[in-house]
Amino acid sequence: MPEKYRFLTGYMKTFKGGVSLPEHKDLTVDKKIRPIPPPFEMILPLGQHTGAPNKPLVNPGDSVKVGQCIGKAEAFISAPLHSPVSGTVKAIKDIFNPIYGKKPAIIIENNGKDTPVSFIKREDPESLPKEELIAIIKDAGLVGLGGAAFPTHVKMNIPKGKTIDTLIVNGAECEPYLTCDHRLMVERTGEILKGVYLVASILNAKNIFLAIEENKLSAIFAMEKATVQMKKEFHGKQIQIIVLKTKYPQGGEKQLIKAVLKREVPPGKLPLDVGVVVQNAGTCFAIYEAVYKGKPLIERCVTFTGKCLREPGNFTVKIGTPLKDVVGHCGGFTETPAKIIAGGPIMGIAQYSLDIPIIKGITGIVFISKKDLEIYEELPCIRCGKCVDICPVNLMPTDIGRMVKYSRWHYLDELHPSDCMECGACAYICPSRVPLVQYIKLAKIKESERK
Amino acid sequence: MENNFYISQGPHQFTNTSVQKMMKDVIIALAPAIFASIYFFRIRAVILFAVSIVSCMAFEAIFQLFMKRKITILDGSAVVTGMLLAMIMPPSLPIWTCIVGSLVAIGLAKQLFGGLGANIFNPALLGRAFLMAAFPTYMTRWNMPFTLDAVTGATPLGLVKFTQNLNINYQELFIGRVSGSLGETSALALIIGGIYLLIKKTIDWCIPLAYIATVFVISSVTNMIAPDTYAGAVFHVLAGGLLIGAIFMATDPVTSPVTKTGRWVFGIGCGLITMIIRLWGGLPEGVMYSILLMNAVTPLLNRLTRPRRYGT
């Protein structure tokens, strides 16, 4: 960390609570984004986002092209799916989806020719009407690339009667190990900014903030330089760079809004209820690609990292690439990993095998070595109150955990477990290793059953 | 290589504190005070510490065995209880009385309530409260340091309360060369331990600060009003069990509130009750009862001081 930026400490914005984590980002932070060529067999799960799954538009035996829509989005909260390669559909069968369990997927054999459908390039998309831009984003199958994979077009459709005054671009990337957004902000600075301006013009947002954690100085510098250079290009509209304190979960929507604007999103409400839309920096890059280049979401930047990889790094990976084909491009393993996590090590999901495909919502894959593996046992809660001190949404995780453990369901009403966003900071800090997130998830289920 | 990966729910990375490490920190923090008490009270201190620690661990194992719980005497909590219990005993206490105290502390206060984390009252303090009620003569027989069984002498708080003797030697009081319970006399050693715990973030600073500040303020005011009857603030902070109570007993995570506001109220409440007993009660010292009483209202404090719901 260069010392010259430490003076910013006083100006860094943040929220109340949260935890400081060991970052482990040095493994990949300097690694340039490299493309990984698609392998012979691609696995494309039908349903890689929050919302309704896709309906397949192809049958086994059909030939497909790069960018061809192969999965239809039928509901409003859904996003279409496109083929990342050209080739033949081999089968539609159930596979293990890294996030959503055993779900059907389209298996495509890559013919290696990369024959694309014609992508419509647009020179001056800002002149297009809003509705058309949202339609382009929807048809490109864009989802939030920060991990939640919420369909992007839904976020851009502001219901009547609501106004958005602020767009916050999320460059916090607060999970340890992950560096894909950081690298995108350094290497695709101009493209991200063009995407940001598009989103801002669709939303009619007066203020645009780009919030980056203080541990990503190279991204902060690159963005500060580019915003000044590109000011003319965007009719004087100014993006403000916000330096955030490095703290988990700084990248959570509610925490980000609190840190940047001091606004709190009420329970059960959305950011747009307080006039804000938050978009991830990587999503803004994908929006640029979709609108300017006409390219649907068929690839994304992913961090493959961990001490077991010989060459960890940041890669552009085609959606649907099986994990086992990625490992070779990272130099192979120095030792067999003990645990594989899809996502970051706090909110990520442990994986059974290397056969899972990279899907839209995967920000990174962390390979944990045997030495770093944490095997723990739940001990009795000693009521130290650390979870209460750090909970970013002011809950009392220890009390919720205790009530769930002893089935005191009626006490849960006053403890509001539904406010929890499952960031896992409480479970991280717990000296007794109580699986608080799982208790709270159970509390949420019981709460909805009781209503 | 297939399907050999370790599976667990998130998070997959943890802070490096654990219950055992916290207990170890408390034991390290207690060490200066233990050495001080061995220095001042010699073989009596060694015997009582050994008996108290061993009997606490033994009772923990026996109760866990009979209650069909996992035996966890190595987690450090029984050791800490044993140390604290010995520290708040008079040096001349008969050994069997100390064992009875351990039985009440571990058996009644801790295991019958459900073991670690489930007790309402601080085990060591409840053990002492029982002995105080059952064997008051043993519990109020004080020795001067280095003199062992020969010379008895009242504690500084007793002197002030019952003889209005306000000639206080602050240096002796700070170092701990006064009569009193084994581990409570040396303010210096206790403060060193407290600073260690604060640096390690094993205890929260709210409770000790609120507790000591309340005592300081009340004793300053009463001293100003009636300087001939009431001793000064420094005396009340250094004398008796205030420092061991504020640093090691009131901060027991299990029996103190989990919210920040709750901890402030808890600390202030402890200070108030301590001073009421010390100044106007029948006993010279009120630390033990103040903490036990505040332990009893801790569940209520937790409910009343819930953090504001986010976004409302």
| Chain B residues 212-231 within an 8 A CB cutoff of chain A | none
Q: Do B258 and A373 touch (CB under 8 A)?
A: no
| Chain A residues 395-414 within an 8 A CB cutoff of chain B | 395-396, 398-399, 414
Q: Do B311 and A22 touch (CB under 8 A)?
A: no
Average pLDDT value for residue range B40-47:
91
For A12, A137, A230, A292, B220, the CA distances from A208, given in Å and listed in that order, are: 17, 20, 14, 20, 55
What is the distance between the alpha carbons of residues A183 and A33, in angstroms, rounded to a whole number?
7
pLDDT at B58 over 70: yes
For A28, A151, B250, B276, the CA distances from B283, given in Å and listed in that order, are: 66, 70, 20, 10
What is the distance between the alpha carbons of residues A414 and A435, in angstroms, rounded to a whole number?
21
| Chain A residues 3-32 within an 8 A CB cutoff of chain B | 19, 21-22
Chain mean pLDDT for chain B:
92
Cα B155-B158-B164 angle, rounded to 5 deg: 125
Q: What's the pLDDT at A239? A: 87
Report all structural domains of chain A as residue ranges with CATH numbers, in order of start.
Answer: 3-31+120-292 (3.40.50.11540), 386-450 (no CATH)
Answer whether A383 touches B (CB < 8 Å): yes
Predicted confidence band of residue B229 (pLDDT cuts 50, 70, 90) = confident
Rounded percentage of chain B residues whose pLDDT exceeds 90: 75
For A19, A415, B55, B204, the CA distances from A389, given in Å and listed in that order, are: 10, 15, 36, 11
Chain A residues with CB inside 8 Å of B17's CB?
Answer: 429, 431
| Contact yes or no for A253/A283 (Cβ under 8 A) | no
Name the stretches of chain A with pLDDT < 50. 1-3
Residue-wise pLDDT for A204-216, tens only, equals 888 999 999 989 9
pLDDT at B30 over 80: yes
Q: What's the pLDDT at A125? A: 84
List, in order, residues 6 or more apart from A196 with CB less than 8 Å away: A167, A169, A208, A210, A239, A279, A284
List, in order, residues 6 or more apart from A235 with CB less than 8 Å away: none
Candidates A253, A261, A269, A379, partner chain B, best to mutate (most B CBs within 10 A): A379
Q: What's the pLDDT at A232? A: 75
Predicted confidence band of residue B105 (pLDDT cuts 50, 70, 90) = very high
Average pLDDT value for residue range B269-282:
95
| Contact yes or no for B119/B254 (Cβ under 8 A) | yes
Answer whether A376 touches B (CB < 8 Å): yes
Q: Do A338 and B306 touch (CB under 8 A)?
A: no
Chain A residues with CB inside 8 Å of B260's CB?
Answer: 389
What is the distance between the alpha carbons of residues B190 and B37, in angstroms, rounded to a whole number?
11
Candidates A388, A411, A418, partner chain B, best to mutate (most B CBs within 10 A): A388
Structure tokens at A74: 């039928």
What is the distance between the alpha carbons of residues B302 and B38, in angstroms, rounded to a whole number?
39
Choice between B169 and B52, residue whose per-residue pLDDT is larger: B52
List, in order, residues 6 or more apart from A63 with CB less than 8 Å away: A86, A87, A88, A89
Q: Do A267 and B311 touch (CB under 8 A)?
A: yes
Answer whether A345 touches B (CB < 8 Å): yes
DSSP-based three-state secondary structure for A113: coil
What is the distance between the alpha carbons of residues A144 and A152, in angstroms, rounded to a whole number?
6
Candidates B3, B5, B302, partner chain A, best to mutate (most A CBs within 10 A): B5
In order, the DSSP letters of B220-235 are HHHHHH-TTTS--HHH
Q: Do A366 and B12 touch (CB under 8 A)?
A: yes
Nearest to A424 by CA among A414, A415, A433: A433
* Cα radius of gyration (chain A): 22
Chain A residues with CB inside 8 Å of B312's CB?
Answer: 266-267
Q: What's the pLDDT at A132? A: 92
Q: Are strands A87-97 and A34-36 parallel, antiparallel or unpaired?
A: unpaired
Answer whether A1 touches B (CB < 8 Å): no
Question: A304-318, A350-364, B148-162, B254-268: which range is least confident on average?
Answer: B148-162
For A84, A135, B38, the CA distances from B258, given in Å and listed in that order, are: 52, 50, 35
Cis peptide before A176 (omega within 30 of 0): no
What is the distance between the alpha carbons of residues A437 and A401, in angstroms, rounded to a whole number?
8
What is the distance between the alpha carbons of residues A119 and B138, in angstroms, rounded to a whole number?
92
Predicted confidence band of residue B149 (pLDDT cuts 50, 70, 90) = low
Q: Do A385 and B259 touch (CB under 8 A)?
A: yes
Q: Are strands A207-213 and A239-244 parallel, antiparallel or unpaired?
A: parallel
The partner residue sitting opposite A393, judged by closest CB among B17, B254, B310, is B310
Element (H, E) at B195: helix B187-199
Predicted confidence band of residue B2 (pLDDT cuts 50, 70, 90) = low
| Contact yes or no for A357/A95 (Cβ under 8 A) | yes
